[in-house]
Amino acid sequence: MSDRPLEGLSAVVTGGAKGIGLAVARRLRDEGADLVLMGRDTAALEAAAETLDCSHAVADVTDTATLEHAFALIGHFDILVNNAGGALTKPFGKLEPGDWNAMLALNLTAAYHTCRLALPGMLARRWGRIVNIASTAGLKGYAYASAYCAAKHGLVGLTRALALETAKTGVTVNAVCPGFTDTDLVQRAAEVIEARTGRSVEEARAHFAGYNPQERLIQPDEVADAVAFLCRREAAAMTGQSLIVAGGEVM
Protein backbone atom coordinates (compact mmCIF):
# COMPACT_ATOMS: atom_id res chain seq x y z
CA MET A 1 0.00 0.00 0.00
CA SER A 2 1.17 3.53 -0.81
CA ASP A 3 2.35 5.65 2.09
CA ARG A 4 -0.03 8.33 0.74
CA PRO A 5 -3.19 6.30 0.14
CA LEU A 6 -5.43 9.38 0.13
CA GLU A 7 -3.51 11.15 -2.62
CA GLY A 8 -5.92 12.91 -4.99
CA LEU A 9 -8.78 13.02 -2.49
CA SER A 10 -10.13 16.01 -0.59
CA ALA A 11 -11.50 15.99 2.95
CA VAL A 12 -13.54 18.20 5.26
CA VAL A 13 -13.08 17.74 9.01
CA THR A 14 -15.55 19.50 11.31
CA GLY A 15 -14.30 20.52 14.72
CA GLY A 16 -10.86 20.26 13.14
CA ALA A 17 -8.94 22.80 15.19
CA LYS A 18 -8.31 20.80 18.37
CA GLY A 19 -8.19 17.37 19.95
CA ILE A 20 -9.41 14.41 17.93
CA GLY A 21 -10.36 16.62 14.98
CA LEU A 22 -6.86 18.07 14.69
CA ALA A 23 -5.27 14.62 15.02
CA VAL A 24 -7.57 13.27 12.29
CA ALA A 25 -6.82 16.21 10.02
CA ARG A 26 -3.07 15.76 10.47
CA ARG A 27 -3.31 12.08 9.67
CA LEU A 28 -5.42 12.61 6.55
CA ARG A 29 -3.00 15.27 5.36
CA ASP A 30 -0.03 12.96 5.96
CA GLU A 31 -1.78 10.30 3.88
CA GLY A 32 -2.13 12.72 0.98
CA ALA A 33 -5.59 14.29 1.29
CA ASP A 34 -6.25 17.94 0.54
CA LEU A 35 -7.81 19.37 3.69
CA VAL A 36 -10.43 21.87 4.73
CA LEU A 37 -10.79 22.35 8.48
CA MET A 38 -14.14 23.57 9.75
CA GLY A 39 -14.93 25.03 13.16
CA ARG A 40 -16.38 28.01 15.01
CA ASP A 41 -13.29 29.13 16.96
CA THR A 42 -11.70 31.41 14.39
CA ALA A 43 -8.36 31.88 16.15
CA ALA A 44 -7.86 28.16 16.85
CA LEU A 45 -8.98 27.26 13.34
CA GLU A 46 -6.57 29.69 11.71
CA ALA A 47 -3.71 28.45 13.87
CA ALA A 48 -4.44 24.81 13.04
CA ALA A 49 -4.79 25.55 9.32
CA GLU A 50 -1.46 27.39 9.33
CA THR A 51 0.23 24.49 11.11
CA LEU A 52 -1.16 21.96 8.64
CA ASP A 53 -0.80 24.29 5.62
CA CYS A 54 -4.41 23.74 4.58
CA SER A 55 -7.65 25.60 3.98
CA HIS A 56 -10.24 26.38 6.63
CA ALA A 57 -13.87 27.48 6.82
CA VAL A 58 -15.36 29.18 9.86
CA ALA A 59 -18.80 27.74 10.60
CA ASP A 60 -20.88 26.70 13.58
CA VAL A 61 -22.28 23.28 12.67
CA THR A 62 -25.43 24.05 14.66
CA ASP A 63 -26.13 27.12 12.50
CA THR A 64 -27.66 25.76 9.30
CA ALA A 65 -27.32 28.97 7.28
CA THR A 66 -23.60 29.47 7.96
CA LEU A 67 -23.01 25.75 7.46
CA GLU A 68 -24.66 25.79 4.04
CA HIS A 69 -22.66 28.89 3.08
CA ALA A 70 -19.38 27.24 4.12
CA PHE A 71 -20.11 24.07 2.16
CA ALA A 72 -21.04 26.11 -0.90
CA LEU A 73 -17.67 27.86 -0.74
CA ILE A 74 -15.79 24.58 -0.28
CA GLY A 75 -17.36 22.91 -3.30
CA HIS A 76 -16.12 19.44 -4.26
CA PHE A 77 -14.79 17.07 -1.61
CA ASP A 78 -14.58 13.29 -1.25
CA ILE A 79 -14.35 12.69 2.52
CA LEU A 80 -16.43 14.09 5.36
CA VAL A 81 -15.38 13.56 8.97
CA ASN A 82 -18.10 14.69 11.38
CA ASN A 83 -16.01 15.34 14.47
CA ALA A 84 -17.62 18.46 15.96
CA GLY A 85 -19.26 17.60 19.26
CA GLY A 86 -19.35 18.20 22.97
CA ALA A 87 -20.50 16.65 26.22
CA LEU A 88 -22.60 17.85 29.14
CA THR A 89 -22.81 16.05 32.46
CA LYS A 90 -25.81 16.60 34.72
CA PRO A 91 -28.12 14.38 36.74
CA PHE A 92 -31.21 13.72 34.65
CA GLY A 93 -33.39 15.56 37.17
CA LYS A 94 -31.39 18.75 36.60
CA LEU A 95 -31.24 18.41 32.82
CA GLU A 96 -33.16 21.32 31.30
CA PRO A 97 -34.88 21.19 27.88
CA GLY A 98 -32.27 23.64 26.61
CA ASP A 99 -29.48 21.28 27.67
CA TRP A 100 -31.16 18.38 25.88
CA ASN A 101 -31.74 20.35 22.69
CA ALA A 102 -28.19 21.70 22.65
CA MET A 103 -26.67 18.23 22.98
CA LEU A 104 -28.78 16.81 20.16
CA ALA A 105 -28.16 19.84 17.94
CA LEU A 106 -24.38 19.59 18.28
CA ASN A 107 -23.85 15.84 18.39
CA LEU A 108 -26.61 14.56 16.08
CA THR A 109 -28.55 17.13 14.08
CA ALA A 110 -25.35 18.80 12.85
CA ALA A 111 -24.27 15.49 11.29
CA TYR A 112 -27.64 15.22 9.58
CA HIS A 113 -27.06 18.62 7.98
CA THR A 114 -23.46 17.97 6.93
CA CYS A 115 -24.38 14.59 5.43
CA ARG A 116 -27.30 16.21 3.61
CA LEU A 117 -24.90 18.74 2.10
CA ALA A 118 -22.14 16.26 1.30
CA LEU A 119 -24.08 13.36 -0.17
CA PRO A 120 -25.37 14.80 -3.46
CA GLY A 121 -21.86 15.37 -4.78
CA MET A 122 -20.60 12.01 -3.52
CA LEU A 123 -23.54 10.18 -5.07
CA ALA A 124 -23.06 12.00 -8.37
CA ARG A 125 -19.41 10.89 -8.47
CA ARG A 126 -20.30 7.46 -7.07
CA TRP A 127 -17.54 7.67 -4.48
CA GLY A 128 -17.29 9.07 -1.00
CA ARG A 129 -16.39 8.44 2.61
CA ILE A 130 -18.36 9.70 5.60
CA VAL A 131 -16.95 9.01 9.06
CA ASN A 132 -18.93 10.09 12.12
CA ILE A 133 -16.99 10.47 15.35
CA ALA A 134 -19.42 8.96 17.85
CA SER A 135 -18.31 7.58 21.22
CA THR A 136 -18.58 4.55 23.42
CA ALA A 137 -21.53 6.63 24.70
CA GLY A 138 -23.18 5.71 21.41
CA LEU A 139 -23.01 2.04 22.36
CA LYS A 140 -23.55 2.02 26.14
CA GLY A 141 -24.89 4.28 28.84
CA TYR A 142 -23.05 6.57 31.26
CA ALA A 143 -24.66 8.04 34.35
CA TYR A 144 -25.17 11.81 34.34
CA ALA A 145 -24.76 11.99 30.55
CA SER A 146 -28.22 11.06 29.30
CA ALA A 147 -28.47 13.75 26.61
CA TYR A 148 -24.98 13.05 25.31
CA CYS A 149 -25.62 9.29 25.27
CA ALA A 150 -28.92 9.77 23.48
CA ALA A 151 -27.31 11.96 20.84
CA LYS A 152 -24.39 9.61 20.23
CA HIS A 153 -26.71 6.57 20.08
CA GLY A 154 -28.65 8.54 17.47
CA LEU A 155 -25.46 9.24 15.52
CA VAL A 156 -24.64 5.53 15.42
CA GLY A 157 -28.19 4.82 14.24
CA LEU A 158 -27.92 7.47 11.53
CA THR A 159 -24.64 5.92 10.42
CA ARG A 160 -26.15 2.45 10.07
CA ALA A 161 -29.27 3.59 8.24
CA LEU A 162 -27.38 5.84 5.84
CA ALA A 163 -24.87 3.08 5.13
CA LEU A 164 -27.68 0.83 3.93
CA GLU A 165 -29.17 3.54 1.73
CA THR A 166 -25.80 4.19 0.06
CA ALA A 167 -24.51 0.62 -0.03
CA LYS A 168 -24.63 0.33 -3.84
CA THR A 169 -23.37 3.81 -4.63
CA GLY A 170 -19.65 3.74 -3.87
CA VAL A 171 -20.20 5.82 -0.72
CA THR A 172 -19.45 4.33 2.68
CA VAL A 173 -20.71 5.61 6.02
CA ASN A 174 -19.06 4.52 9.26
CA ALA A 175 -18.63 5.60 12.86
CA VAL A 176 -15.60 5.62 15.12
CA CYS A 177 -16.39 5.25 18.82
CA PRO A 178 -13.58 6.39 21.12
CA GLY A 179 -13.55 5.82 24.83
CA PHE A 180 -12.34 8.56 27.16
CA THR A 181 -9.67 10.35 25.15
CA ASP A 182 -6.89 12.67 26.28
CA THR A 183 -8.40 15.90 24.94
CA ASP A 184 -9.57 19.27 26.23
CA LEU A 185 -13.04 17.79 26.66
CA VAL A 186 -11.85 15.23 29.20
CA GLN A 187 -9.65 17.82 30.89
CA ARG A 188 -12.62 20.16 31.31
CA ALA A 189 -14.73 17.30 32.66
CA ALA A 190 -12.01 16.54 35.21
CA GLU A 191 -11.94 20.19 36.25
CA VAL A 192 -15.72 20.15 36.72
CA ILE A 193 -15.39 17.08 38.96
CA GLU A 194 -12.71 18.88 40.98
CA ALA A 195 -14.98 21.91 41.43
CA ARG A 196 -18.02 19.85 42.39
CA THR A 197 -16.47 17.16 44.55
CA GLY A 198 -13.09 18.35 45.74
CA ARG A 199 -11.34 15.42 44.08
CA SER A 200 -8.20 16.53 42.25
CA VAL A 201 -8.01 16.80 38.47
CA GLU A 202 -5.49 13.95 38.52
CA GLU A 203 -7.92 11.75 40.45
CA ALA A 204 -10.72 12.63 38.04
CA ARG A 205 -8.57 11.79 35.01
CA ALA A 206 -7.64 8.50 36.64
CA HIS A 207 -11.35 7.82 37.13
CA PHE A 208 -11.96 8.27 33.41
CA ALA A 209 -8.95 6.13 32.55
CA GLY A 210 -10.36 3.41 34.80
CA TYR A 211 -13.21 2.75 32.35
CA ASN A 212 -10.59 1.41 29.96
CA PRO A 213 -9.34 -2.12 30.81
CA GLN A 214 -5.91 -0.90 29.71
CA GLU A 215 -6.23 1.71 32.49
CA ARG A 216 -5.30 4.68 30.34
CA LEU A 217 -6.83 7.45 28.31
CA ILE A 218 -7.04 6.89 24.56
CA GLN A 219 -4.73 9.12 22.53
CA PRO A 220 -6.17 11.27 19.71
CA ASP A 221 -3.73 9.75 17.21
CA GLU A 222 -5.21 6.32 17.92
CA VAL A 223 -8.63 7.59 16.91
CA ALA A 224 -7.11 9.21 13.83
CA ASP A 225 -5.65 5.85 12.78
CA ALA A 226 -9.13 4.30 12.72
CA VAL A 227 -10.60 7.22 10.80
CA ALA A 228 -7.85 7.17 8.18
CA PHE A 229 -8.36 3.45 7.58
CA LEU A 230 -12.07 3.97 6.90
CA CYS A 231 -11.31 6.80 4.46
CA ARG A 232 -9.03 4.77 2.21
CA ARG A 233 -10.03 3.43 -1.16
CA GLU A 234 -9.19 -0.07 0.12
CA ALA A 235 -11.91 0.18 2.80
CA ALA A 236 -14.74 -0.08 0.27
CA ALA A 237 -16.30 -3.09 2.03
CA MET A 238 -16.41 -1.29 5.39
CA THR A 239 -19.75 0.45 5.80
CA GLY A 240 -22.28 0.76 8.59
CA GLN A 241 -19.61 -0.16 11.12
CA SER A 242 -18.79 1.32 14.51
CA LEU A 243 -15.06 0.93 15.12
CA ILE A 244 -14.44 1.04 18.86
CA VAL A 245 -11.19 2.61 20.06
CA ALA A 246 -11.48 2.08 23.79
CA GLY A 247 -8.97 -0.51 25.00
CA GLY A 248 -11.63 -3.19 25.44
CA GLU A 249 -14.20 -1.12 27.35
CA VAL A 250 -16.90 -2.15 24.87
CA MET A 251 -16.74 -5.42 22.95
Instruction: Note the pLDDT tens digit of each residue in 176-208.
Output: 999 999 999 899 889 988 998 999 999 999 999
Which residues fall within 8 angstroms of residue 163, CB to CB, at 6 or more apart?
Answer: 172, 173, 174, 239, 240, 241
Instruction: Give pLDDT tens digits for 158-172.
Output: 999 999 999 999 999
Instruction: Give pLDDT tens digits for 11-26.
Output: 999 999 999 999 999 9
The span from the CA of 56 to the CA of 178, in Å, is: 25
Instruction: Give pLDDT tens digits for 81-98.
Output: 999 999 999 999 999 999
CATH number of the domain located at residue range(s) 10-179+219-235 in this protein: 3.40.50.720
**pLDDT value at residue 249:** 98
Span 104-120, average pLDDT: 98
**pLDDT value at residue 2:** 76
- Measured between alpha carbons, how far is residue 241 from residues 132, 138, 226 in Å? 10, 12, 11
Amino acid at 23: A
Instruction: Give pLDDT tens digits for 223-241.
Output: 999 999 999 999 999 999 9
Active-site amino acid positions: 148
Q: Spell 4-19 as b/e; 16+ CB within 10 A means b.
A: ebbeebbbbbbbbbbb
**In the predicted model, is pLDDT for residue 1 greater than 70?**
no
**pLDDT value at residue 185:** 87
Instruction: Give pLDDT tens digits for 124-167.
Output: 999 999 999 999 999 999 999 999 999 999 999 999 999 999 99
**pLDDT value at residue 107:** 98
The span from the CA of 152 to the CA of 107, in Å, is: 7
**pLDDT value at residue 204:** 93
